[in-house]
Amino acid sequence: MMLDTKLDTYDLDSLKFWKKSMSSLPNLAPLAQKYLAVPSTSTKSESAFSTSTYYGRKQRARLSSDNLCFSVFLKDKQSNEDKENIINI
């Protein structure tokens, strides 16, 4: 049982802890893997922000917010399809 598990209070490295405790805490280990994982990059969010800035610039000020969102969505989907097509070649 989890409450009976003795913890090493001096070991503050969560990765080492979960590596040692994976078998004794099988229900919590997947949650730790999911929520302690660090995203490898923020490129996706930076790309979306850059695209929305491009479409929302002063020269396109008459573009409604709905159309701006739709344009950014389509641009993202288009670039994903292009990547998939390159991989499948």
Give domain status of residue 1, yes or no.
no
> What's the pLDDT band for 58 if we cut at 50, 70, 90?
low
48 in the same domain as 81:
yes
| Residue 13 belongs to some domain of the structure | yes
Full 3-state SS string of 43-84: HHHHHHHHHHHHHCCHHHCCCCHHHHHHHHHHHHHHHHHHHH
User: Regarding predicted confidence, which is higher, 12 or 82?
Assistant: 12
pLDDT at 55: 66
Domain residues for the domain of 51 are: 43-88
Q: Do the beta carbons of residue 24 and residue 4 sit within 8 Å?
A: no
Question: Is residue 54 located within the same domain as residue 31?
Answer: no
Q: Structurally, how many domains does the chain consist of?
A: 2
Instruction: Please give the model's pTM, rounded to 2 decimal places.
Output: 0.34
Residue 82 within any structural domain of the chain:
yes
Q: Are residues 26 and 59 in the same domain?
A: no
- pLDDT of 10: 58
Residue 28 has pLDDT above 80, yes or no: yes
